[in-house]
Amino acid sequence: MQAVLDAISSPRRREILRLVWDGELSAGEIAARFDVSWPAVSQNLKVLRTAGLVRERREGTKRFYRADHVALGPVGAVLRQMWEQDLDALERAIRRDRRG
């Protein structure tokens, strides 16, 4: 359980989970949606996979990821709340920027 909580404590990893919640994406597609370096994306995917929250599928040299809803279990509901909080925080930041 601690590994799961550690995994979802990071906003970037929560964002990855949101991206692969409804469907599978390749590691490259996930990296293209992020502002961080490719090794950082790779590291975050590794943490999510080790915690059992995403499943990895290999096809040649490509890796695809999707959220493991069963493994997430009740954590899924917590995640959805956290995503809303992430969005609220984003909205506040945008408003603050506009005012500033």
Partner 1 sequence: MRSSERSDGTGVAERVVDVERHIDATPDEVFTYLTDPEKYTLWKGQQAELDPRPGGLYRVRMGPDAVALGEYVEVEPPSRVVFTWGWEGSGDVPPGSTTVEITLHEDGEGTLIRLRHTGFPSEADADLHRAGWEMYLGRLVALATREDPGESQPLPGLSRP
Where along the sequence are the contacts to partner 1 (CB under 8 A)?
11-12, 15, 18, 26-29, 31-43, 45-46, 61-63, 86-87, 90, 93-94
Sign of CA dihedral 92, 75, 47, 39: negative
Q: Among residues 2 and 61, whose Cβ is nearest to partner 1?
A: 61
The pair of three-digit structure tokens given for residue 15, joined into one six-digit string: 């964002």
Query: What is the Cα–Cα distance from 97 to 94, expressed in whole angstroms?
Result: 5
Q: Among residues 19 and 78, whose Cβ is nearest to partner 1?
A: 19
Q: Shortest approach of partner 1 to residue 46 CB, angstroms?
A: 7
Q: Shortest approach of partner 1 to residue 87 CB, angstroms?
A: 8
